[in-house]
Amino acid sequence: MISKASKAGLARRRYDRLAFLYDLLETPMERLRFASWRARIRDRVIGNQALEVGVGTGKNLPYYPRCTDVIAVDFSPRMLERAQRRASVLGLEVELREMDVQNLAFPDCVFDTVFATFVFCSVPDPVLGLKQLRRVCKPGGRLLLLEHVRPGNALLGLVFDLLNPMVVRMIGANINRRTMENICRAGWQIRVQDRLSSDIVWWVEAEP
Ligand SMILES: C[S@@+](CC[C@H](N)C(=O)[O-])C[C@H]1O[C@@H](n2cnc3c(N)ncnc32)[C@H](O)[C@@H]1O
């Protein structure tokens, strides 16, 4: 039985190793689809204080609204270095911190918006991470997520289940996460559920 701490360590090391290649690997999808989906962040982040978890190499930085202070965290130091470089190139002042979403070092109810893109496929305990986001989100605040999930089709779901161990070893992401269920299990009320690509990639908005 692998402990929570060693699962997180394993996942962190995978992203540390992948950091130098991450942007290159994602370039085709980024140009074709991801960038336009990320752009929603600009309009959907509310309030003065926001938190991005799993900031990665900082691909969402260009879409941070100017009038909101955003703190961005990730548990991979190598990914954070790249995010820091991107922030400098863009001339943005963003507070970047090394932190595990499963154990956020923030008081309760401090952020108006908490958000993440393509993160809960790789968080070792996604429900715990989503509960932490709910804890730090103000009442009346919101959660924004862009995530890929296990397909609803029974046969395709099975194929994703079979391929999942290999994909996790290669890129650290689970392709068969039941993220909608996980969001509800963490106590969030889903308000918006936009299907972006078949029933696999979704934009989700939820309230605590
Ligand atoms: C697939 S990448 C997505 C990066 C970025 N959000 C994007 O859209 O390009 C997943 C990111 O989540 C981070 N991550 C995964 N689990 C995490 C955790 N428990 N706490 C903090 N960051 C985590 C990884 O280090 C990685 O940078």
Q: What is the pLDDT of residues 177-195, one digit of tens each?
A: 999 999 999 999 999 999 9
- Residue 112 CB less than 6 A away from ligand 1: no
Q: Where exactly are the structural domains of the chain?
A: 4-207
Cβ-proximal residues to 30 (8 Å cutoff; 6+ apart), any chain: 23, 59
Least confident of 9-18, 64-73, 88-97: 9-18
> pLDDT grade, residue 72 (50/70/90)?
very high
Q: Is the CB of 11 under 6 A from ligand 1?
A: yes
The larger pLDDT score, comparing residue 123 to residue 9, is at: 123
Nearest CA to ligand 1 atom 26: 56
CB of 82 closer than 6 angstroms to any ligand 1 atom: no
Task: Give CA–CA dist 151/142, Å, rounded.
Answer: 25
For residue 11, is pLDDT > 90? no
- Does the CB atom of residue 147 touch ligand 1 within 6 A? no
On the CB side of 185, CA atoms within 13 Å amount to: 10
Find out whether the beta carbon of 79 lies less than 6 Å from any atom of ligand 1. Answer: yes
Burial degree of 23 (CB within 10 A; 0-12, 13-18, 19+): middle
Work out the average pLDDT over 7-19.
88
The pick from 10, 14, 15 for probing ligand 1's pocket by mutation, whose C-beta has the most ligand atoms within 8 angstroms, reads 15
Burial of 78 (0-12, 13-18, 19+ CB in 10 A): middle
Point out which residues pair with 113 in neighbouring strands: 50, 142
- The whole-chain average pLDDT of the chain stands at 94
pLDDT of residue 121: 95
pLDDT digits 0-9 by tens, 97-139: 999 999 999 999 999 999 999 999 999 999 999 999 999 999 9
Cα-based angle 76, 96, 190 (whole degrees, multiple of 5): 85
- CATH (one of 3.40.50.1100, 3.90.180.10, 3.10.20.520, 3.40.50.150) for 4-207: 3.40.50.150
Q: How far is the CA of 154 from the centre of ligand 1 (A)?
A: 28
173 Cβ closer than 6 Å to some ligand 1 atom: yes
Q: How confident is the model at residue 159 (pLDDT cuts 50, 70, 90)?
A: very high
pLDDT of residue 6: 79
HSE toward the beta carbon, residue 163, CA cutoff 13 A:
15
Instruction: Give the Å distance between the CA of 49 and the centre of ligand 1.
Output: 20
The pLDDT of residue 29 is above 80: yes
Answer yes or no: is pLDDT of 1 > 60.
no
Give the model's pLDDT for residue 2: 65
Residue located nearest, by CA, to atom 12 of ligand 1: 54
pLDDT value at position 158?
96
